Amino acid sequence: MSRHALVEPRRPTQAERADHAVRGHLAALVVIVQQGTDDEVCLAARSEICRLVSAVCTALSPHRLDSSGHCAVCGPDCELLNRLSRALLPVWL
Ligand SMILES: [Zn+2]
């Protein structure tokens, strides 16, 4: 067999396909919000905001703050809380 024989590419796992689909969906939403008409943006907001808020709440659920104000699971260096805070906090804080 030639050393240049074609190697079958690895098939993505179900989790990888789901991750790809979610990231693609989120990217499409960003494009709609940035480039869509007002009607398209309104339609996307009405259909997606509740789902997005639910997804963020679900992700945050196990990372509630303890009495010292740190993630009860990860401690003061909770990467999820830090990243979400940077992404969601208003710029004036
Ligand atoms: Zn955490």
Whole-number Å distance between alpha carbons of 45 and 33: 8
For residue 92, the CA-to-ligand 1 centroid distance in Å is: 24
Residue ranges per structural domain of the chain? 14-88
Q: How far apart, in Å, are the Cα atoms of 57 and each of 31, 46, 53, 60, 80?
A: 24, 18, 6, 5, 12
What average pLDDT does the segment 12-41 reach?
96
Overall pTM > 0.75: no
Q: How far apart are the CA of 11 and the centre of ligand 1, in A?
A: 32
- Percentage of the chain beyond pLDDT 90 is 77
Confidence of residue 2 (pLDDT cuts 50, 70, 90): low
Contact 22, 14 (CB under 8 A): no
- Give per-residue pLDDT as tens, 71-83: 999 999 999 999 9
Q: Which tens digit of pLDDT belongs to each residue from 24-38? A: 999 999 999 999 999
CA of 83 to the centre of ligand 1 (A): 11
